[in-house]
Amino acid sequence: MKKYKIHILSIIAAFALLTSCGNNNGQNSSNGALNASAAEKMYVAPGEQDDYYAFMSGGYSGNLTVYGLPSGRMFKEIPVFSQFPTSGYGYSEETKPMLNTSHGFVPWDDSHHPDISQTNGELDGRWIFINGNNTPRIARISLSTFETEEIIEVPNSAGNHSSSFITENTEYVVAGTRFSVPIPQRDMAISDYKENFKGSLSFISVDPEHGHMDIKFQLLMPGFNYDLSHPGRGKSHGWFFFTTYNTEEAHTLQEVNASQNDKDFIAAVNWKKIEEYVNNGGGTKVPANYAHNVYDESTHMATTTMKKEVLTVDPLKVPGAVYFLPTPKSPHGCDVDPSGEYIIGNGKLSADLTVHSFDNMIAAIEGKKFDGEAYGIPILKFEDVLAGTVKSGGLGPLHTEFDGKGNAYTTFFISSEVVKWKLGSWEVVDRKPTYYSVGHIMIPGGNSRKPFGGYAVALNKITKDRYLPVGPEMEHSAQIYDISGEKMELIYDFPTHGEPHYAAGCPAELLAPKAKKIYRLDENKHPYAINNPGEAKVTRDGNEVHIYMSTIRSHFTPDNIEGIKVGDKVYFHITNHEQDFDVPHGFAMIGQNTSELLVMPGQTKTSVWEPKQVGVWPFYCTDFCSALHQEMQGYVRVSPANSNIELSWSLGD
Amino acid sequence: MKKASILMIIGSLLLLGLFIYPLWNIQLGAPQYPEPLGMNIYINGIKGQSEFDIQNIDGLNHYIGMKTLPKPSDMWEFSVFPIVIGSMAALGIVIGLLAFFKKVDHRWFLGWFLVMTILGILGMYDFNAWMVDYGTNLDPNAIMKLQNPDGTPMSYKPPLLGHKKLLNFDAYSYPRLGGYLMGLGMLLTLVAFFVGKRSKKNAI
């Protein structure tokens, strides 16, 4: 009888294997040996496309990279806060203004936390926002062109880290300061930090139609470090939660001095209340100086506006707007579950996770169960707001994401693992190692009201021996886990680009159908664009020369230019006349002190060249555009500064 | 006979679909064009299957020295065809109405069908001649001058009907909705003739 049973089992197993071969979507459950192999789960066959987009911050690359899940293939690097010679972003005349700040042109930043726009707490795929950490800025990226459209500088902030998280209808993108600083900035002794420095939490409104950002108000908080944040959702919509550390207000050797208090705080901010206060004329307008850079898709051009004023709000002037929730061990990640009930403080110096309850918090506020105050802000009693503690057995919890099925996934930096636990019962159901020292984790939609689940991506800080060695400096590693089953299953391990901190993901069908293929030439309003090659011309205004040039497979119009002189400032305005998907043309001029241009179909970009030597100097197309790409080239004759040669231009003469 | 006349009228009306829908379609697919480029041929001009297909086909054709695709004003056919189709539809409807009121008999249906068939064959002949001209009458300074194995210049004429390989492109040439409606309409007029013939026989 026993033997018989085994036979039946093996037949069932064989059948399961046969049927699972046809299932290449990687969604089947992952317990037991009857399932398809890990390789099969992440395998996306040639010609097939991924199920999800994943947007990973570039960290110190300043950019945002776009990947596919489950394949781990990289599709694009979107330049955001850093110059990008590949496309000419930050080098072309049109995009240089994108990197303007109150400190002048800042060609780099440290990008951390991408967040996709939401409607009713669900990802809507209009835009993705990301913060520049070093010179505080928030960027908005279009999810139809996958290009950066807007960057706003955040004044009175330093180390823009608890950013760029959005409220559930994208009312605000929120930017909190990591460093407290003197507000306004002034010359003072660093040792006078305590009680003098302030931490600003900026609520930046997002225009629902165009996405344009504007700082609605800055909340001036006590001089703690505001580490991470997340919005309330569902019933807690209208609140925003920020983890703090250094409530000790140490100004030196924070490693030790900011780790003394057993508990720091999660700051709960009722932004709806403050919004009402501000709409009724509350707050104080103070002088400021910050850049607002907007790229216009129709002119293909960015402009900078310097803003001179910002509205600040003193939290004590808005009673009931801010409370502190004591949270143990210098909490790092601040995550809110899909229902909006649980606020998770990932106490990075402990083994446990502290989970606060929104309902408890409201009850404690209503019952005035305070445990003193900090700078006039009420501190709620820890025991009264606590929902539970996850006894994980790991060490160094940093960040938590959700699968929408009642589970939470927390990363543990020190013990280098992902721990899956249940919301409500706080029981640990699974744990899997990461390689190594994981920071953030990302589940598509995992910080929204409607997570999509499917996969979790662990973004690690240490790579060591995971890949072939390439010297001391290497890319960071990431791992993909199939989370469709009860147990997580590691299915892929791949290097990323830069240092991804947080990431955001969404189903492919949310973005793929509306991804732009070309820019329409008939909608190109660039002042130096030409609509047909017949309009190509060269004009001179003093020593400034403007070349109106067009490209189409496989020539530049014009391709012979004479009458340029040493000392001229030559602007090549290049309009790509292609209206065919994936036919960019490039442009590079010998000896130019800038990058190439990569011009998309229907787009105009401008490159400056200041010739210093007499001669006949070539330029060419840098993108292998066609079979005659190598023929796509031209010459500029440069004459001495005092020459009388008239400007002339031609093609095919 | 009433039934036959109604069929005749419907058949003739279906020709008018050519004023809305394309008569013919030529598609060009290649490895780097997973979404093929295509042109829809209407009786009054050629339009891209997608908005920029004509521009992109012309862009590719310049490598082999082919003329750019004709605008409506470049070819007499695009002004004459609508008149011919409109007239034939009107004539068919008039014949159908006259037959309905028993002024003419079913032989007029066959007569109309034969005239339309001859016009159709002439149209196809003209279409083919146009494609031969475009496919072989190439710029002598073309960027790519390719020869057949026997040394004659390669022709890029798309097939009149069906599939043909043109260098890296797969060309497909088939009727489109307007063409199918015309075919169906003509078939109905032929059916009308036989129905009319039988009803006359039954009447005798």
ipTM of the complex: 0.85
pLDDT digits (tens, 9 = 90+) for A143-175: 999 999 999 999 999 999 999 999 999 999 999
Quote the tokens at residue A261.
């208090």
Q: Residue A19 falls within a domain, yes or no?
A: no
Residue A36 has what pLDDT? 61
Q: Which helix (H) or strand (E) holds B177?
A: helix B177-203
- Partner residue facing B56 (CB), from A579, A627, A628: A579
Question: Do A464 and A603 have their domain in common?
Answer: no
pLDDT digits (tens, 9 = 90+) for A378-420: 999 999 999 999 998 899 999 999 999 999 999 999 999 999 9
Asked if the model's pLDDT at residue B143 lies above 70, the reply is: yes
Question: Do A370 and A402 have their domain in common?
Answer: yes
Find which of A523, A579, A624 to mutate to test the B interface (most B CBs within 10 Å of its CB). Answer: A579
Select from B130, B132, B15 the least CA-distant residue to B84: B15
Cβ within 8 Å, pair B52-A553: no
- B35 to chain A: which residues are within 8 Å by CB? 581
Question: Do A413 and A529 have their domain in common?
Answer: no
Spell out which chain B residues touch chain A, with contact meaning CB-CB distance below 8 angstroms: 35, 51-52, 55-56, 59, 63, 143-144
Min CA distance, B104 vs chain A (Å)? 56
Buried b (16+ CB within 10 A) or exposed e, B53-85: bbbbbebbbbbbbbeebeeeeeeebbeebbebb
Find which of B33, B35, B51, B52 to mutate to test the A interface (most A CBs within 10 Å of its CB). Answer: B52
Residue A4 has what pLDDT? 47
Residues B120-146: what's their mean pLDDT? 91
Question: Do A463 and A421 have their domain in common?
Answer: yes
Residues A598-614: what's their mean pLDDT? 98
Residues A277-285: what's their mean pLDDT? 98
Q: Residue A38 falls within a domain, yes or no?
A: no
Assess contact for A455 and A240: CB atoms under 8 A: no
B23 contact partners, CB below 8 Å, separation of at least 6: B41, B42, B43, B175, B176, B178, B179, B182
As a whole number of angstroms, the distance between CA A258 and CA A252 comes to 9
Q: Residue A41 falls within a domain, yes or no?
A: no
Residue A435 has what pLDDT? 95
- Partner residue facing A552 (CB), from B59, B63, B143: B59
Min CA distance, A580 vs chain B (Å)? 7
Q: Residue A11 falls within a domain, yes or no?
A: no
Cβ within 8 Å, pair B52-A580: yes
- B59 to chain A: which residues are within 8 Å by CB? 552-553, 578, 580
Ramachandran angles phi, psi of B168, nearest 5°: -80, -5
Mean pLDDT of chain B: 93
- Partner residue facing B52 (CB), from A552, A579, A627: A579
Contacts 24+ apart (CB under 8 A), B140-146: B140/B65, B141/B65, B142/B63, B142/B64, B142/B65, B143/A628, B143/B62, B143/B63, B143/B64, B143/B65, B144/A627, B144/B63, B144/B64, B144/B65, B145/B65, B146/B64
- Partner residue facing B59 (CB), from A518, A553, A627: A553
Q: Residue A25 falls within a domain, yes or no?
A: no
DSSP B70: P
Question: Do A473 and A551 have their domain in common?
Answer: no
Asked if the model's pLDDT at residue A27 lies above 80, the reply is: no
Question: Do A501 and A558 have their domain in common?
Answer: no
Residue B204 has what pLDDT? 63
Question: Do A473 and A542 have their domain in common?
Answer: no
Amino acid letter for position A332: H
Measuring CA to CA, how many Å separate A74 from each of A53, A203, A467, A494, B90? 10, 32, 17, 10, 61
Residue A35 has what pLDDT? 53
Assess contact for A309 and A288: CB atoms under 8 A: yes
Domain range for residue A149? 52-514
Measuring CA to CA, how many Å separate A55 from each of A108, A164, A219, A459, A504? 19, 14, 29, 12, 5
pLDDT-derived band at B155 (thresholds 50, 70, 90) equals confident
Distance of CA A147 to the CA centre of its chain: 12
What is the pTM for the complete model shown? 0.91
Residue A39 has what pLDDT? 82
Min CA distance, A56 vs chain B (Å)? 29
* Chains A, B: CB pairs < 8 Å: 17
> Omega into B42 within 30° of 0, i.e. cis?
no
Cβ within 8 Å, pair B55-A628: no
End of a domain among A514, A547, A582? A514
When divided into structural domains, chain A yields a total of 2
Select from A547, A421, A537 the least CA-distant residue to A488: A421
Residue A485: CB atoms within 10 A of its CB come to 15
Distance of CA A346 to the CA centre of its chain: 21
Select from A178, A337, A198, A365 the least CA-distant residue to A270: A365
Assess contact for B183 and B175: CB atoms under 8 A: yes
Residues B53-57: what's their mean pLDDT? 95
End of a domain among A468, A487, A514? A514
Q: What is the CATH number of the domain that holds A353?
A: 2.130.10.10
pLDDT-derived band at B1 (thresholds 50, 70, 90) equals confident
Assess contact for A91 and A141: CB atoms under 8 A: no
Assess contact for B93 and B9: CB atoms under 8 A: yes
Cβ within 8 Å, pair A578-B59: yes
Min CA distance, A209 vs chain B (Å)? 27
Residues A312-336: what's their mean pLDDT? 96
Q: Residue A35 falls within a domain, yes or no?
A: no
Cβ within 8 Å, pair A579-B63: no
Question: Do A508 and A552 have their domain in common?
Answer: no
Nearest CA in chain A to B32: A582
Min CA distance, B52 vs chain A (Å)? 6
End of a domain among A496, A514, A532? A514
User: Any idea which residue has 């505001």 for tokens?
Assistant: A226
pLDDT digits (tens, 9 = 90+) for B8-29: 999 999 999 999 999 999 999 9
Question: Do A459 and A542 have their domain in common?
Answer: no
Question: Do A532 and A483 have their domain in common?
Answer: no
Q: Residue A2 falls within a domain, yes or no?
A: no
User: Any idea which residue has 């072989």 for tokens?
Assistant: B136
Cβ within 8 Å, pair B56-A580: yes
∠ Cα A558 A561 A565 (to 5°): 150
Question: Do A547 and A480 have their domain in common?
Answer: no
Residues A450-458: what's their mean pLDDT? 97
Question: Do A294 and A410 have their domain in common?
Answer: yes
Q: Residues A477, A483, A486, A487: what is their CA dihedral angle, to the nearest 10 degrees?
A: -20
| Interstrand relation of A569-576 and A370-374 (parallel, antiparallel or unpaired) | unpaired
Burial of A593 (0-12, 13-18, 19+ CB in 10 A): exposed
